[in-house]
Structure 1
Amino acid sequence: MTNIALTNIAVLNYGPKLDYPAMFPEVVDRLQVFSQHELKSTAGLARYEYVADNDAVPYAELMIRRLHRERPFTHVITDNEYDLERAARMREDFGLSGQSAASARSFRDKAVMKRVAGRTVATARFARLGTIVELTGFIAEAGYPVVVKPVSQGGSRDIVVLDGEDDLLAFSRRPWREDLMVEEFVEGPMYHVDAVLGPGYRFVASSRYLRSCLGVFSGRNNGSVQLRPESELARRLEDFLDRTLAAFDTPEVSAYHLEVFHTPQDQLVLCEIASRVGGDRIPLITRATYGVDLHGAVLRQSCGLPVEAPSAAVPAEVHGSLCILPPGRPVEAPGRPPFPWVRHYEVNERLEPGAVLHSASHLCFVIVSGSGPEQVEERLLEAEAWLMARLADR
């Protein structure tokens, strides 16, 4: 366990709602936080700085290295996928435990990730791209449709699906990027597996995306539906996670967010795996069903601090979430849907009133409960219909 008297923790934060004083009560005065978003709860922190575009500018790393010379850090932690590599680099330079730079890179670079994971699980055919000729060569072998995306991007950003020659010609008019890869399109619903693994600690939960993650580009609302943990598919997905991780150099403590296709032939095929907590509403529905704080579980263990073991009891109900995309015009969000199974409803307060919304943001989201994924999905769709009908009237 950590010697609290010697503890000095550098934090590269992204999440706008993380409460570090509540998460780390016994060492709150040993936390030095550099945050991409302004945090509401900062009382008692040894240091707190809001840094615009923190994961894109080198200021935080420069300051952490300077501060380390004055008083050595015992831990460097982050909740942000885009900070994993530089946090690992600093740990290596400081001689600290935690994920190595090579391990972080193997999870961050999607082409490297697929090559590594392909040793133990099925993956879609893929290739890193240097020129348009390499793209057309891949298409000639694999056929349409194909997916083109940056190797180190997240959140379905900058992904393009090419369904035919017209799409290829349109894509050829865009500025070429040096960080692209291509992969064959895999049919079937996508599932995500969210886990925190550490010495004597194991938490794994599986969910299905309500719709394709790429649906947001055509204006479709997106969300997740949790599986019953005792279901056969949930067990298959947990086994798939273990087989995937067997191919990687993994740290002693880490969170994982795995995305898996379930093909019409009943095959599980890797889409991606990240060594961090899943985004969107995943932490909220996880806490609602299992009482597990994914961020707290992995960040506290990464600092050698105790974490209560997850309950082995089968949950009475599971949850799902749905985000309503902005309609592209100034509008206020509808009120909370009037259903007893709505467990949480939240409007995106980061959007200015009357602002024209865009596809990268959400207007509001809802979390519902149910006995199983079928009932949860039914209720999500009912809540969606209620919200969209009132949104159309505004």
Structure 2
Amino acid sequence: MAILILNQRRRAFAPYLTWLEDLDEEVYLYTSSAYGETKEPYALVQVFNNWVTNDRVEIDAIRLYEEHPYRLVIALDESDLIRAARLRERLNLPGQRLGSAMAYRDKAMMKSLASQHVSCPAFRRLASPLHLYDFVLEHGLPVVVKPVDGMGSMNTHVIRTPEQLDEVWERGLGGGLMVEAYVEGEMYEIDGLMMGQEIRFASIGKYSCQPLEILGKECFVELLSPEDPIFQRLVQEVQQVIEALPSPGISTFHCEWFHTREDEWVLCEIASRTAGGRISECISAMYGINLNREWVRGQCGLPLTLPASNPPQVAGVYLMPKRPGRVKRIPGSLPFEWVTEYVPRVKAGEQLDAAHSSVDAVMTVIIVGENSVSLQARLAELLLYLEREVQISPA
């Protein structure tokens, strides 16, 4: 048989044939133009323009199956999960079906299911501006308005004042939105791999900022040692969420939580995909595991490589957000042996706009340390260095 991969990533971030080097089957690749030219020995490569909105991806996949049947559809990006689930249902293939994909993608549906088992903010799907009006009357301000299927904090707004609410009315609410009560507290994220509804691997990180309000703010995500008292508590919380939602089969997950001053864990959201913002690469630096590789191999029925013991170090990823202005200077490299990855995302001379998502960054930097104390000390040293070496003139 064969497998079909739906991909919108660049080739450097999607080495499927390397991950599947021991797979004795043909691999068909449907990909966006971002993948780039390739001479890799795929059985088929088909490139689609306007990938996210191009309905030919699904139609051509059906036609391909009629002539060259495949046993699996694999998709790693959140915006492809619904598309892949529709194909599986149409062709009766194993893997995440539409009910599960919708539950992990639609945040209102997700909270309706999860709220029966864990604490969630008060929320409501917005079918009209009157729903928002009534929600504010009942729960007060601040509130958070966001797309039910949003990613990376895009188009997410914290409304704190009546004046900001009036701006929403003036602008027009639009469709596909939900509102929820704002939760005060620290924010954590948990990433991992699940098989069915069993967590097989987990990593936990703490945000230095509120992702709901990250636009234009620096953020550091510090991965916690598995020996941290919070670690097992949060694993147990997310396990309850996973059990409350329809099983995606074998999948990675990315889940965010609020930790209140009253020591309560409140669910923000969960997705059946790998974390962005270089968090998954940070996990790789700490644990030596590539979550996307294990996700793909697990779906194909191949052996997995999961950490057998606690990691010898901790890690964190720093994101410097974009801000309006012209880039005057940015380092080509960083002079620290404890930096395991440095990715500058802009060039000298480039004109920048404000950040549009939580991962819209000038750079990302992954650092490691023996423990939390050394990691924070190295972060402070890094920030002092970048303050001197990065120059962005005001717009």
Query: Same fold per TM (> 0.5)?
Result: yes
Moved more, 365-374 or 186-195: 365-374
- Unaligned residue ranges in structure 2 (runs of 5+): none
Selected match of 2:350 from 351, 355, 370: 355
How far is the alpha carbon of 1:81 from its aligned partner?
0.7
CA distance, structure 2, for counterparts of residue 342 and residue 132 of structure 1: 48
Asked if the contact 2:330–2:391 (Cα under 8 Å) also holds between the matched residues in 1, the reply is no
1:3-82 paired onto structure 2 within 5 Å: 6=1, 8-16=2-10, 17-27=13-23, 30-36=26-32, 37-39=34-36, 43-82=40-79
Asked if the contact 2:146–2:178 (Cα under 8 Å) also holds between the matched residues in 1, the reply is yes
How far is the alpha carbon of 1:371 from its aligned partner?
2.4
CA distance, structure 2, for counterparts of residue 9 and residue 324 of structure 1: 38
Q: CA-to-partner distance for each residue in 1:331-370, whole Å, 9 max, x for gaps? A: 242243323322221222xx56633223143222111111
Q: Which one-letter code corresponds to 1:385 in the other structure?
A: L
Normalising by structure 1, we get a TM-score of 0.92
Q: Is residue 2:310 matched to residue 1:314?
A: yes
CA distance, structure 2, for counterparts of residue 26 and residue 315 of structure 1: 27
Q: Secondary structure at the match of 2:255?
A: strand
How far is the alpha carbon of 1:301 from its aligned partner?
0.8
How far is the alpha carbon of 1:111 from its aligned partner?
0.3
CA distance, structure 1, for counterparts of residue 44 and residue 93 of structure 2: 21
Q: Secondary structure at the match of 1:186?
A: coil
1:1-394 paired onto structure 2 within 5 Å: 6=1, 8-16=2-10, 17-27=13-23, 30-36=26-32, 37-39=34-36, 43-198=40-195, 202-217=200-215, 219-308=216-305, 310-331=306-327, 332-348=329-345, 351=346, 354-358=349-353, 359-360=355-356, 361-392=360-391
Asked if the contact 2:341–2:365 (Cα under 8 Å) also holds between the matched residues in 1, the reply is yes
Q: After TM superposition, what 4+ stretches of structure 1 lie above 6 angstroms from structure 2?
A: none
Corresponding residue of 1:3: none
Distance 1:39 1:24, change over 3 A: farther
- Unaligned residue ranges in structure 1 (runs of 5+): 1-5
How far is the alpha carbon of 1:232 from its aligned partner?
1.1
Asked if the contact 2:192–2:199 (Cα under 8 Å) also holds between the matched residues in 1, the reply is no
Moved more, 68-77 or 373-382: 373-382
Root-mean-square deviation (CA, aligned residues, Å) is: 2.0
Asked if the contact 1:29–1:45 (Cα under 8 Å) also holds between the matched residues in 2, the reply is no
How far is the alpha carbon of 1:124 from its aligned partner?
0.5
CA distance, structure 1, for counterparts of residue 173 and residue 24 of structure 2: 46
CA distance, structure 2, for counterparts of residue 155 and residue 44 of structure 1: 34
- Equivalent residues, number: 384
Distance 1:125 1:59, change over 3 A: same
How far is the alpha carbon of 1:20 from its aligned partner?
1.3
Q: Which one-letter code corresponds to 2:138 in the other structure?
A: E
How far is the alpha carbon of 1:280 from its aligned partner?
1.2
Distance 1:353 1:75, change over 3 A: farther
Asked if the contact 1:28–1:45 (Cα under 8 Å) also holds between the matched residues in 2, the reply is no
Q: Which one-letter code corresponds to 1:211 in the other structure?
A: C
How far is the alpha carbon of 1:300 from its aligned partner?
1.2
CA distance, structure 2, for counterparts of residue 50 and residue 374 of structure 1: 47
Asked if the contact 1:337–1:387 (Cα under 8 Å) also holds between the matched residues in 2, the reply is no
Distance 1:141 1:296, change over 3 A: same
Distance 1:225 1:213, change over 3 A: same
| Greater share of strand | 2
How far is the alpha carbon of 1:267 from its aligned partner?
0.6
Asked if the contact 1:204–1:238 (Cα under 8 Å) also holds between the matched residues in 2, the reply is yes
Alignment identity in percent?
Answer: 32
How far is the alpha carbon of 1:71 from its aligned partner?
1.1
